[in-house]
């Protein structure tokens, strides 16, 4: 099956791709900002590993936000 070009997609398909890409970008930005500010002792696992996980889209940022952060209230 040949790859579709952007111009061949319907308006709804283009909007869906833009919406999902926007959500992915925002999610990654939130996760990266949190990881940059959070002290290493409040991160589950090594921070460099979580930085690498940010590139595994969209699972990496979602995994960090769901599992990578320790609660700061102790």
Residue 68 lies in a domain: yes
Please provide the DSSP assignment of 11-26 as one string.
Answer: HHHHHHHHHHHHHHHH
Is residue 59 exposed (0-12), middle (13-18) or buried (19+ Cβ within 10 Å)? exposed
Q: By residue range, what is the domain housing residue 64?
A: 42-74
CA pair distance 26, 19, nearest whole angstrom: 11
Q: For the chain, what is the domain count?
A: 1
**pTM recorded for the entire structure:** 0.84
Residue 57 lies in a domain: yes
Residue 32 lies in a domain: no
Query: What per-residue confidence (pLDDT) applies to 52?
Result: 96
Q: 69 - beta bridge partners?
A: 43
Residue 72 lies in a domain: yes
Residue 15 lies in a domain: no
Region 17-46: what's the mean pLDDT? 96
pLDDT tens string 10-19: 999 999 999 9
Residue 63 lies in a domain: yes
Residue 52 lies in a domain: yes
Residue 27 lies in a domain: no
């Amino acid at each position: 099956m040949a790859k579709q070009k952007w111009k061949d997609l319907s308006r709804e398909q283009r909007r869906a791709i833009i919406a999902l890409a926007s959500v992915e970008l925002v999610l990654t930005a939130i996760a990266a900002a949190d990881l940059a500010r959070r002290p290493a002792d409040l991160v589950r696992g090594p921070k460099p590993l979580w930085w690498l996980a940010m590139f595994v889209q969209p699972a990496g940022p979602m995994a960090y936000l769901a599992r990578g952060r320790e609660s700061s209230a102790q």
